[in-house]
Amino acid sequence: MKTWRRHTLSGYSWLMLVFLYLPIAILVLYSFNDSRINATWNGFTWKWYVSLFDNRQVMQALMNSLSIGVISSVLATVLGTAASLAIKHYSLRWRNVVNGLIYLPIVIPEIMMGLALLVLFSQVHMELGKWTLIMAHVTFSMPYVMVIVSARLADMGKELEEAAQDLGATPWGTLRHVTLPLIMPGIVAGFLMSFTLSLDDFIISFFVAGPNSTTLPLYIYGLVKRGVSPEVNALSTLLIASTVLLVIIAELFRRKDSKNGQIHF
Amino acid sequence: MKRFKSMMIGALTAVLAVTAVGCSSSSEPEQQVLNIYSWADNFDLDVIKDFEQKYNVKVNYDVYGSNEEMLAKIQAGASGYDLIQPSDYMVATMIQLGLLEELNKENIPNMKNIVSTFKTPPFDKENKYSLVYTWGITGIAYNKKYVKETPTSWNDLWNEAYKGRVIMLNDPREVMGMALIKNGFSNSTTNKDELAKSFADLKKVLPSVMAFDTDNIKQKMIAEEAWIGTVWSGDAAIINGQNPDVEYVIPKEGATIWADTLAIPKGAKHKDLAEKFINYLMEPEVSVKNYESIGYSNPNEQAYPLHSEEYRANKMIFLDKADIARAEWLVDVGDTLQEYDRYWTEMKSGR
């Protein structure tokens, strides 16, 4: 009876994994396929990975994605961390309301947020392009940074900061030498999270992108009409690999974090 | 702590470097920029590079996946694009909405090279706002391994022998248009009886249809999952290149002809440069290079003798004059569009 149950459970787990990862495995597999169209398997080749790097458009899209990702996640991390600190340290009158409002963008459907941003930008006659994309990405990733950093701040408690100030540290000194080091794992995890979100985003980017700001997801989507070439499979493979890597790094930080201070978020 | 610090410093340096690069490329003062919003893979990238070098300009090429997407972006304003590529019916819509600039024909002397058929398309009769760039005809592609008798009529899609192996475009106007043409009507009819009759006929083929799928139609034909279907001529050429068993015919009843055009959105900042680029694309030598690379039909008559034997011998790209004459454009049907959509929904939900 016991072995039967164990077999069923492990079988089920494996089935779930297959369900989740089979499509990705196929995508990766076809990036090595020696045929222009993802229809039949013609043999193994590396050529799509090579021609990928000669494709100016793909490379441009990659550069756009990376630069927008880095800039927007740094901004989101700085602004988000500052906001978390402000909310924690100053008793705002409507703290709970403010808290709720800040997390709202996480649950608002992306398509509405994209539309809202597009309407805003065209109302203020801001030309669509890289900067509108960066602003939009900051908007949707900042709440994630705040969730992570606030959780970290809440678990930290007030005691250490109060102790530092009792011992004569200036507010700036307390922030610099006590608070920031303690919440740093949360900040780093928030940064990586926003970078990943920015790299993957399609819907919001679709609304606010302009000339010379096509990101990778937008470019790939555009290929649908003429048939997605294996170069895109190759690129997606690289993208998945780098996203996975980032998630693993973020997870390592989180683990380290929870081991040190029994903190979970 | 040290590690975090160095990481943060690293990240900041990266940002500065990236912004610096971004600034330096955008602040070069003299170089003009042409912003293109188009379909993916719609230009030979070398042609764009040649143009950039010849005129010392920079070309940005962004892509969209459907006409409606492009329309939404242009309608929202502040898009910043100088050159767009709406399809035939979308040109008509955009003219109506006042979203297109009139072309300055003095800047485009090469437009005389366009074959006469495309000088008077119904969606823009005098080429005031648009010029045909790529075009094709929706015909029947079939795999001769499974379809033994060469199809000659749309009726062959109704053949029971191909049950579950028929594929069609995922587009109400294209599919209803096909059924209308099969029954001897115009593909843009506004007559409700004609629509009803064609729809009743279309319902009979439904059990045979494996999918309505524009995006994967090439894959399914190449992989021989689909044996026969409604396919654009240019796509048929691509399929044939991968699977030589797939052939293409334009049925005797006629077919739907379509085009993607070159047009300039209202308020474009670099209109002159866009016209210069359009003119450049219509140089015979340039167009030969461009169209042989993207594999679609060239509307440039002066370029015909310059094309390679292989390109000219390809019946899916060099379409027969008689077939073009029999083909019909889809034109705006006004409020009747709701009827088309209603039938389409009924058909798809009935499956």
Tell me: is residue B172 an annotated ligand-binding position. yes
- Chain A CA closest to residue B295: A226
The pLDDT value given to residue B23? 43
The predicted-structure confidence for B122-161, as pLDDT tens digits, reads as follows 999 999 999 999 999 999 999 999 998 899 999 999 999 9
Contact B223 A181 (CB under 8 A): no
Instruction: Give the domain A54-260 fold.
Output: MetI-like fold (1.10.3720)
> From CA A26, how far away is CA A41, in angstroms rounded?
11
Please name which of B264, B325, B324, B331 lies closest in space to residue B297, comparing C-alpha atoms: B324
Tell me: is residue B174 an annotated ligand-binding position. yes
Contact B273, B34 (CB under 8 A): yes
What average pLDDT does this structure show over B55-78?
87
Q: Look up residue B36 and give its DSSP letter.
A: E
Please name each of the domains of chain B with its CATH number.
Answer: 2-134+260-317 (3.40.190.10), 136-257+323-348 (3.40.190.10)
pLDDT band at B104, cuts 50/70/90? very high
Contact A191 B14 (CB under 8 A): no
The pLDDT value given to residue B227? 95
Residues of B with CB under 8 A from a CB of A: 1, 4, 7, 11-12, 14-15, 18-19, 21-22, 33, 35, 37, 39-42, 45, 49, 60-66, 69, 73, 76-81, 214-215, 218-220, 222-223, 238, 241-242
Select from A38, A39, A226 the Cβ nearest to the Cβ of B41: A226
Contact B95, B129 (CB under 8 A): yes
| Cβ contacts of B315 within 8 Å, gap of 6 or more | B248
Is the confidence at residue B78, as pLDDT, over 70? Answer: no
| Per-position pLDDT tens, chain A of length 265 | 678 888 888 999 999 999 999 999 988 998 888 877 666 787 888 888 888 888 888 888 889 999 999 999 999 999 999 999 988 877 667 777 888 888 888 889 999 999 899 889 988 888 888 999 999 999 999 999 999 999 999 888 788 888 988 998 888 898 888 899 999 999 999 999 999 899 889 999 998 998 888 898 888 888 876 777 788 888 888 888 887 887 888 788 777 766 655 444 4
> From CA B268, how far away is CA B100, in angstroms rounded?
9
How far B216 CA sits from the closest chain A CA (Å)?
7
Cβ neighbours around B54 below 10 Å, total: 11
- Chain B CA closest to residue A212: B60
How far A125 CA sits from the closest chain B CA (Å)?
6
In Å, how far from its chain's centre is CA B287? 17
Total CB pairs under 8 A between chain A and B: 113
Is the confidence at residue B22, as pLDDT, over 50? Answer: no
Tell me: is residue B173 an annotated ligand-binding position. yes
Whole-Å CA distances, A80 to A99, A191, B167, B300: 12, 10, 51, 56
Is the confidence at residue B89, as pLDDT, over 60? Answer: yes
How far B189 CA sits from the closest chain A CA (Å)?
27
Contacts of A211 in chain B (CB under 8 A): 33, 35, 37, 60, 62, 79-81
- Half-sphere exposure in the Cβ direction for B209 (13 Å, CA): 20
Question: Angle at the Cα of A84 (from A81 to A86), degrees rounded to 5?
Answer: 110
> From CA A150, how far away is CA A156, in angstroms rounded?
10
The pLDDT value given to residue B172? 87
DSSP A11-59: HHHHHHHHHHHHHHHHHHHHTTBSSSSTTS---B--HHHHHHTT-HHHH
Contact B39 A222 (CB under 8 A): yes
- Chain B CA closest to residue A115: B76
- Chain A CA closest to residue B81: A211
The pLDDT value given to residue B185? 94
**Helical packing angle, B45-55 and B284-294, nearest 10°:** 150
The torsion of the CA quartet A80, A83, A89, A95, rounded to 10 degrees, works out to -120
What average pLDDT does this structure show over B314-337?
87
Tell me: is residue B89 an annotated ligand-binding position. yes
Q: What are phi and psi of A209, to 5 degrees?
A: -75, 150
| Tokens linked to B265 | 């959105």
> From CA B286, how far away is CA B192, in angstroms rounded?
46
- Half-sphere exposure in the Cβ direction for B45 (13 Å, CA): 12
Q: Is B102 exposed, middle or buried (CB count within 10 Å of its CB: 0-12, 13-18, 19+)? A: exposed
Predicted TM-score (pTM) of the model is: 0.78
How far A25 CA sits from the closest chain B CA (Å)?
19
Where are the domains positioned within chain A? Answer: 54-260
The predicted-structure confidence for B238-259, as pLDDT tens digits, reads as follows 899 888 999 999 999 999 999 9
**Mutant choice from B63, B74, B170 vs A, greatest count of A C-beta within 10 A:** B63
The torsion of the CA quartet B281, B287, B293, B294, rounded to 10 degrees, works out to 60
How far B238 CA sits from the closest chain A CA (Å)?
9
Q: Look up residue B154 and give its DSSP letter.
A: G
Contacts by B194-200 with C-beta closer than 8 Å and gap 24+?
A: B195/B336, B195/B339, B195/B340, B195/B343, B199/B343, B199/B347
Amino acid at residue number A178: V
Select from B19, B69, B223 the Cβ nearest to the Cβ of A71: B19
The pLDDT value given to residue B29? 54
Cβ neighbours around A53 below 10 Å, total: 13
> From CA A179, how far away is CA A45, in angstroms rounded?
52
Select from B18, B33, B80 the Cβ nearest to the Cβ of A127: B80
The pLDDT value given to residue A263? 45
The predicted-structure confidence for B167-214, as pLDDT tens digits, reads as follows 999 888 899 999 999 999 999 999 999 999 999 999 999 989 998 988
- Residue count (chain B): 351
Select from B15, B60, B214 the Cβ nearest to the Cβ of A71: B15
- Half-sphere exposure in the Cβ direction for B77 (13 Å, CA): 9
Contacts by B116-122 with C-beta closer than 8 Å and gap 24+?
A: B116/B301, B117/B324, B118/B259, B118/B299, B121/B88, B121/B259, B121/B329, B122/B329, B122/B331
Contacts of B73 in chain A (CB under 8 A): 128
Cβ neighbours around A42 below 10 Å, total: 12
What is Dmax (Cα atoms) for chain A?
Answer: 73
Contact B215 A188 (CB under 8 A): no
Is the confidence at residue B26, as pLDDT, over 50? Answer: no
Tell me: is residue B50 an annotated ligand-binding position. no
Kindly tell me the number of DSSP H helices and DSSP E strands found in chain A: 12, 0
Task: Kindly tell me the sign of the dihedral angle through the C-alpha atoms of A145, A146, A148, A149.
Answer: positive
Look at B287 and B29; give whichever has higher pLDDT.
B287
Contacts of A67 in chain B (CB under 8 A): 18-19, 21-22
Contact B158, B289 (CB under 8 A): no
Please name which of B229, B242, B215, B246 lies closest in space to residue B168, comparing C-alpha atoms: B229
Contact A233, A27 (CB under 8 A): yes
How far A37 CA sits from the closest chain B CA (Å)?
7
Contact A100, A168 (CB under 8 A): no
What average pLDDT does this structure show over B301-312?
90
Strand partners, B212: B168
Beta strands in B160-307 (DSSP E): 166-168, 209-212, 228-232, 246-249, 256-263
What ipTM does this complex have?
0.71
Contact A210 B215 (CB under 8 A): no
> From CA A130, how far away is CA B218, in angstroms rounded?
34
Residue B329: which H helix or E strand, with range?
Answer: strand B328-329
Amino acid at residue number B56: N
> What proportion of chain B, given as a percentage, has pLDDT over 70?
91
Contact A181 B77 (CB under 8 A): no
The pLDDT value given to residue A258? 62
- Identify the residue whose tokens are 């040109």: B91
> From CA A226, how far away is CA A221, in angstroms rounded?
11
Amino acid at residue number A147: V
